[in-house]
Amino acid sequence: MGKYIELTSSNFEATVNNGVSLVDFWAPWCGPCRMIAPVIDDLAVEFEGKANICKVNTDEEQDLAVKFGVRSIPTILFMKDGKVVDQMIGAASKQAFADKLNSLL
């Protein structure tokens, strides 16, 4: 059963440097973040073995949020081999996230 990867400063680079990654910058108090949480969980199952589905808690990992210029949450970064290739800000449909991931695979 696929599960998203909780990213921290210590595992961020190693996780996103190979292949395609979706990185969800979120916080527990953020309504739209909580709204898309089940979508992120579903994507982790669907893309297991194909893409890394990751979350960064911006309250706990402020340095990562600053590094990537995250000013509003949820911010979803799409990365390929460690480089940001696209981003979406705010809640979106599961299909929108899946289409973006599939275009990078």
| Tokens read off for 81 | 């081999």
Total H helices, total E strands in the chain: 4, 5
DSSP at 47? T
Task: Give catalytic status of residue 54 as yes or no.
Answer: no
33 is catalytic: yes
- The amino acid at residue 100 is K
Q: Which of 20, 30, 79, 101 is catalytic?
A: 30
Catalytic residue among 22, 33, 43, 77: 33
Catalytic residues: 30, 33
